[in-house]
């Protein structure tokens, strides 16, 4: 997990920099998603675990709703 968290932080930094250079808005969901990882129980996790799901290690419906709501909020649309 530490490796994946570090990799995600690096990717987020690169995307944030690119967004800044192009005048785009970057929505950082790293803090909002804390405690909603695949190891959490259903109804709490935003990411499905590796097994036994159909879309492993991918945002589930709850995660997609929460990320969309936070994105709309940052953009002043929600």
For residues 7 and 1, is the Cβ–Cβ distance under 8 A? no
Q: Is 75 exposed, middle or buried (0-12, 13-18, 19+ CB in 10 A)?
A: exposed
- Rounded to whole angstroms, the Cα distance separating 64 from 46 reads 7
Q: Which domain holds residue 69?
A: 2-74
Q: How many domains does the chain have?
A: 1
What is the token pair recorded at 64? Answer: 């997609």
Tokens of 9: 């932080």
Q: Are 12 and 31 in contact (CB under 8 A)?
A: no
Report pTM: 0.80
**Averaged pLDDT, groups of 10, the chain, 78 residues long:** 86 97 96 91 91 80 96 94
């Amino acid at each position: 997990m530490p490796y994946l968290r570090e990799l995600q932080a690096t990717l987020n930094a690169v995307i944030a920099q690119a967004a800044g250079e192009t005048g785009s808005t970057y929505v950082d969901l790293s803090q909002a998603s804390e405690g909603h990882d695949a190891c959490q129980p259903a109804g709490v996790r935003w990411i499905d675990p590796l097994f036994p799901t159909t879309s492993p290690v991918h945002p589930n419906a709850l995660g997609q709703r929460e990320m969309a709501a936070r994105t709309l909020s940052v953009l002043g649309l929600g």
